[in-house]
Chains A and B, each alone.
Chain A
Amino acid sequence: MSEQQLYNKDFEHIISEINNTIDSLYLTKNCYDKNKLLNNLRRQIANITMLMQNNRINTDSMIDPKNPTASKVFTPAELATYTGKDGNLAYVAVNGVVYDMTNVAAWGGATHFGLTPGKDLTGVFASCHDGQPILSTLPVVGVMAP
């Protein structure tokens, strides 16, 4: 499992804890229980903050676990080899960040609305998905060379 996947798992776990706490808060009438639950909520939020900080540090030293020889900084030529064809992984760059689309459901067969991977798709992404919270859900594998 990649670091990103581990991170997502922890994240999901804490979020479901938070949701449970909130559900319980609705049910309880006892003010002591309520305080205890609110305390839990604080702790859970602190956990998320910690996780987010860790993740930010991890991205800086990120190496693609499926392909450890690849560097985390991609030149356009390097990116172009991640075509999603003939066994190659499917990478796409948006706003300077490289995402792994290999197992993203919306990119079946490594194509998406006529788009193919191995490219910088910043422009099309902006024209098709502006304002949608999509990028934050995608696995990051590196950045484009400046």
Chain B
Amino acid sequence: MKNKTNSCPNQSEKLKLISMLANKAIASIKNGSLKKRNLVWLELTGCSGNIISLLDGVNPGFRNLATQMVNIIYDNSLMVADGEAAMEKLFSIADDDYILLVEGAVATKDDGLYNVIGQLNGQPVTAYRAINELGPKASYVIAMGACACDGGVTAAKPNPSHAVSIQSVLNRKVIKLPGCPCHPDWLMGTLSYILLYGQPELDSKDRPTMFYSTLIHDICPRRPFFDQGIFAEKLGDKTCMFKIGCRGPVTPVDCPIRKWNQHVNWPIGDDSPCIGCAQFGFPDRMEPFISYNTTREE
């Protein structure tokens, strides 16, 4: 089944596209026809899952990004500066040109006091303030991961910090890369495209159609089982997981061909249903992630 998926040229070309875009951007920067842009990686209220995910990416990976494609001005997890110096560096970019990458939702309760990301001039800087000050001035804002795109896990019931998506506090175009976490390729592809050509084609929910245009169910290697009505009864079964609650039919993203952890495997490939992490509404509206004793088979 694996080979079948990979041998379709439409699908294998999609895999190659990311390195093609990144290599083109890197070459153009090397020969001086393209300028390195400044990049601010802002982590708000989340779990650092997106930066960890990016560090797992290859060809292109984080090393290409940091050394050959952009100047990383600020990233709370990876930068050398700390404390007040880091905050000064963050806010000093405001008058320059920069691309803003945001992971995590915005905690809004009590003026955002539920998430303080640093101190500036002795005052606490909330995530809420940071996004409000840096969001409007950025040349592009990219929301990475479920929390930044739609509140995600941070905004799940009962949502004690009143967390909301980036779009809810910014009145401007926000490119959305939902997923829990965001796949390194989705980010690197989008960023390379922006460096080279500007904003990529987006769907009605501002997701790049490059990655978010086909339902998992439509390119799932288990689709023949669905069409024949052969369904898994429990985790570990090798057939279609529709009856135990697979969310592949409502999740438009390219996991079946791209796979995870350096293109090795993905949930359905390891016999567990898709939980719809790249669809708006995750996690509350995708629950239950697994259901037993559902409808009976024909």
Contacts and interface: CB of A to CB of B under 8 A. Distances in A.
B246 interface: yes
19 contacts: A85-B294, A88-B295, A88-B296, A102-B295, A103-B229, A108-B245, A108-B273, A109-B242, A109-B243, A109-B244, A109-B288, A109-B291, A110-B291, A110-B294, A110-B295, A111-B288, A112-B250, A113-B286, A114-B281
Nearest to A88: B295
- Interface residue tally of chain A, by bracket? 10 to 19
A133 interface: no
B295 A89 contact: yes
B230 to A, nearest CB: 12
B158 to A, nearest CB: 15
B290 interface: yes
Q: How large is the interface on B (under 10, 10 to 19, 20 to 34, 35 or more residues)?
A: 20 to 34
A7 B244 CA distance: 29
A106 B281 contact: no
B247 interface: yes
B30 interface: no
Nearest to B290: A109
B293 interface: yes
B241 to A, nearest CB: 8
Nearest to A66: B298
A108 B293 contact: no
A68 interface: no
B201 interface: no
Contact of B285 (A84, A85, A114): A114
B287 interface: yes
Interface string A76-92: 00000000111111100
Interface in B241-298: 241-250, 273, 281, 284-288, 290-291, 293-296, 298
Nearest to B226: A105
Nearest to B280: A113
In the complex, which of the residues B229, B249, B284, B294 has the most CB atoms of chain A within 10 Å of its own CB atom? B294
B217 interface: yes
Leading 10 A-B pairs by shortest Cβ distance = A109-B245, A109-B291, A105-B249, A87-B296, A113-B285, A108-B246, A114-B285, A102-B295, A110-B294, A106-B249
A86 B293 contact: yes
Given A105-B249, A108-B273, A109-B244, 4 more contacts: A85-B294, A88-B295, A112-B250, A113-B250
A129 to B, nearest CB: 12
Contacts of B296: 87-89
